[in-house]
């Protein structure tokens, strides 16, 4: 059974159809990419899965749960974590604090025990810290641990955001343009990280990406979108050779 299923989903903003009868399914253990020209509705699909938007029709299922029945703040509890296209970190907090917010869904303490900082809260904090340190090791963030986000370079912020998503211990990781704005070296690091995320951590990855080189290297399947609808679905090579995809990017032959 597929881990994430998008079934016949339509989302309209007034007269604009952002997502038009879109269906696809992501299998557990897969690395799945969504590609398409600007304005195709790729990030909108992510925002639908995160429940920031509610579709007019269709269904969203994650691991047997009806995603439309949960609020956006409860999506993380099901095991879906995400990054944002334009980096949404907590700027006036340290890298460590950012990653610890990622542990929020594992919070067992309540207000009272936290104000008193009981031994149980202390244990929970140590546990959270241990998990966060594993991710810091995994993504080589050691030099930045106590740095404020506001002073970090762009490339590092991208990695911190991915680390924060991993800190939630997700089953499905949504990466919104993870390679945009990264240097060649950073992109190749990213490639190995994405493969390791699947291999070592057993996390399914769904990503939106424009870098077809990266998509071709790491992805099992690719969905190409244009104007909110599906153009093609298949292996990276199949999708890149698909006539409709070529037309969407390059236009008609004269």
Residue/partner pairs of 144-150 with CB below 8 Å, 24 or more apart: 144/95, 145/94, 145/95, 145/96, 146/94, 146/95, 146/96, 147/94, 147/95, 148/91, 148/92, 148/93, 148/94, 149/89, 149/90, 149/91, 149/92, 149/93, 149/94, 149/95, 149/98, 150/91, 150/92
Antiparallel, parallel or unpaired: β 204-208 and 31-35: parallel
Spell out, one character per residue from 150 to 179, where the chain touches other proteins: x when CB under 8 A holds, - when not. Answer: xx------------x---x-----------
Q: How far is the CB of 181 from other proteins (least distance, A)?
A: 11
If the CB atoms of residues 89 and 245 are measured against other proteins, the closer one turns out to be 89
Q: What's the chain's Rg over C-alpha atoms?
A: 19
Alpha-carbon dihedral sign for residues 236, 240, 245, 250: positive
Q: Applying CB under 8 A, does 74 fall inside the site for other proteins?
A: yes
| Site stretch for other proteins (CB under 8 A), options 3-11, 56-64, 99-107, 209-217 | 99-107
Instruction: Rule CB under 8 A: choose which of 57, 104, 134, 241 binds other proteins.
Output: 104
If the CB atoms of residues 27 and 125 are measured against other proteins, the closer one turns out to be 125
Q: How far is the CB of 122 from other proteins (least distance, A)?
A: 6
Q: Applying CB under 8 A, does 130 fall inside the site for other proteins?
A: yes
If the CB atoms of residues 165 and 239 are measured against other proteins, the closer one turns out to be 165
Element (DSSP H or E) covering residue 163 = helix 154-167
Degrees, nearest 5: CA angle 58-32-181: 110
Length of the chain: 254
Q: Applying CB under 8 A, does 16 fall inside the site for other proteins?
A: no
Instruction: Rule CB under 8 A: choose which of 37, 84, 138, 213 binds other proteins.
Output: 84
Residues 8 and 57: their CA atoms lie apart, in Å, by 7
If the CB atoms of residues 133 and 186 are measured against other proteins, the closer one turns out to be 133
If the CB atoms of residues 6 and 160 are measured against other proteins, the closer one turns out to be 160
What six digits make up the tokens of 73?
């703040």
Q: Applying CB under 8 A, does 100 fall inside the site for other proteins?
A: yes
* Site residues (vs other proteins, CB under 8 A): 47, 50, 52, 71-77, 81-82, 84-86, 88-93, 96-97, 100-105, 107, 109, 111, 114-117, 121-122, 124-126, 129-130, 133, 150-151, 164, 168
């Amino acid at each position: 059974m597929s881990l994430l299923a998008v079934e016949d989903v339509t989302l309209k903003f007034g007269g604009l159809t952002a997502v038009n009868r879109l269906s696809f399914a992501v299998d557990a253990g897969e690395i799945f990419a969504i590609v398409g020209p600007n304005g195709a509705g790729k990030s909108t699909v992510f925002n639908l899965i995160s429940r920031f938007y509610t579709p007019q029709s269709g269904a969203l299922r994650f691991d047997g749960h009806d995603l439309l029945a949960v609020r956006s703040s409860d999506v993380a509890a099901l095991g879906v974590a995400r990054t944002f296209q334009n980096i949404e970190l907590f700027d006036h907090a340290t890298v460590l604090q950012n990653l610890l917010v990622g542990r929020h869904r594992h919070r067992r303490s309540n207000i009272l025990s936290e104000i008193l900082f009981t031994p149980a809260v202390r244990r929970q904090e140590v546990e959270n810290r241990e998990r966060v340190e594993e991710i810091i090791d995994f993504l080589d963030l050691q030099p930045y641990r106590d740095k404020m986000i506001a002073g970090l370079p762009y490339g590092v912020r991208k990695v911190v955001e991915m680390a924060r998503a991993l800190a939630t211990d997700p089953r499905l990781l949504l990466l919104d343009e993870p390679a945009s704005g990264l240097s060649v070296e950073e992109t190749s690091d990213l490639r190995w990280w994405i493969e390791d995320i699947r291999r070592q951590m057993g996390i399914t990855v769904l990503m939106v990406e424009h870098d077809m080189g990266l998509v071709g290297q790491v992805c099992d399947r690719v969905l190409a979108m244009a104007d909110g609808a599906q153009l093609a679905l298949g292996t990276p090579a199949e999708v890149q050779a698909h006539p409709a995809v070529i037309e969407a990017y390059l236009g008609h032959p004269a």
